[in-house]
Structures are given as C-alpha cells and as structure tokens.
Amino acid sequence: MSGLLTLETHDLGLSWVVDEPMQRASHALVVAGRVWLIDPVDRDEAIDRAVELGEPAGVLQLLDRHPRHCERLAGRFGVPHLRLPDAVPGTPFEVFDVVDVPKWREKGLWWPERRALVVAEAVGTHPMFSPSSDAGVHLFLRLRPPGVLKRYEPEHLLAGHGAPLHGPQAAAALRDAYRRSVRDLPAVVAKLPRTAR
C-alpha cells in the first residue's frame, strides 16, 4: 500500500495518518491493557505498534460506507468487529449518533474520563475540512452541521481524516469548526481540486 505513514503515540494510545490526498487517520485506544482499533487502515508498522500497547480487544467501525480494514483486522486478531455499535460493553466509551440519514450513518465515540472525542467523518483536521483553522466540518454538512458534537469540550480530538489534536487546541478547534462552517464554505470548495490530487 502506498503513502508514507505518520505515527503519533499519545496519552490515549496511538494514532496513524496515511500521507495521501484524504489523509486517512486511524486510532488505537488503550483501556486497562486492552487495545481498541478505531476505523483502522491496515499498515504493518502501525498495527505492530498498536498491539505492542496491549492485547487487541475489538475493532470499531464508526462510519457505514468506509469499512477500511476493520473486518480483516478483527479476523486476524480473533476479536469482534463492531460496525456502528450502539454501545461498547466493558469499556468507558459512550457511543452516540452523529449522522443518521440514508447512505450516511456515523457514530461518535466519547471517553468521558479522558475527555477524548473520536469523529469519523463529520469533522476533520485534514486541509479539505479546515482551510483556515485546525478543524472543519465536512463539506456536505456545512450548511447544517450535526449539533450533537457541540455538547463536547474535548481535550483530545481524534478525526478520521487528519492529525489528532490535543490539549486546549482540541476544544477550540471544534468550536471554531462550527463557527466557521458556513463562512469557510467557498474556501473549502476552492480547495477541492488541489486536495484531491
């Protein structure tokens, strides 16, 4: 598989971003010595590093239309593949609906004790999402962004596209994404041809 890989170890576990036009990002969250893979792209270096953090517990798929390598990795490790789960029993994670319309069903993941928010697609830190700030709302949601994400003040924002954000920057970026949602729409559209290369 082509594309360089950026790996980032952080307080929650590991994130990896593939250096490609859409900057697919994946995350491994460590809970009590067990590792949960979130929307993973199967890259050997990243998966090897993830399983060094603990025993694989399961694979979570938070977006219906982009299965990535969830099923493959769940099979490899003999763990559940939880596609659009309503809950993840035995974990501190809270699961909620972000978008629920035909052809776009997306779940969000909130880890209250760590103030960590995982968003697959509705918000991202990739340049296409955020032409003038650290994070932005998906192009197709900018006129009516899903209000549910406004409830959260994360210290960690882990997106499905782009690098993770940590500390005060995470909550500020999420607030700014909503504030600039409509205002930045022309800039997002203008950036599309360059981003898609």
* pLDDT confidence tier of residue 185, bands split at 50, 70 and 90: confident
Distance, CA of 45 to CA of 3 (rounded, Å): 13
Specify the pTM: 0.94
The residue-averaged pLDDT of 18-22 equals: 92
The residue-averaged pLDDT of 167-172 equals: 97
The residue-averaged pLDDT of 161-188 equals: 92
The whole-number pLDDT of residue 128 equals 85
The whole-number pLDDT of residue 139 equals 92
Q: How far is CA 175 from CA 37, 125, 137, 152, in A?
A: 27, 13, 10, 9
Which domains does the chain show, CATH number per domain? 4-195 (3.60.15.10)
The whole-number pLDDT of residue 197 equals 41
The whole-number pLDDT of residue 135 equals 96
Q: Is the pLDDT of residue 29 over 60?
A: yes
Q: Is the pLDDT of residue 189 over 60?
A: yes
The whole-number pLDDT of residue 169 equals 96
Q: Is the pLDDT of residue 52 over 90?
A: yes
The residue-averaged pLDDT of 21-40 equals: 97
The whole-number pLDDT of residue 2 equals 57
Q: Is the pLDDT of residue 150 over 50?
A: yes
Please, are residues 167 and 131 in contact by the beta-carbon 8 Å criterion?
no
DSSP 171-197: HHHHHHHHHTTTTTHHHHHHHHHHHT-
- Nearest CA to 40 out of 31, 13, 141 is that of 13
Count of Cβ atoms closer than 10 Å to residue 151 Cβ: 10
Residues contacting residue 135 through CB under 8 Å, at least 6 positions apart: 123, 124, 125, 129, 157, 159, 162, 165, 173, 174, 176, 177
Share of the chain above pLDDT 70, in %: 94
Average predicted confidence (pLDDT) for the chain = 93
Q: Is the pLDDT of residue 118 over 50?
A: yes
The whole-number pLDDT of residue 4 equals 85
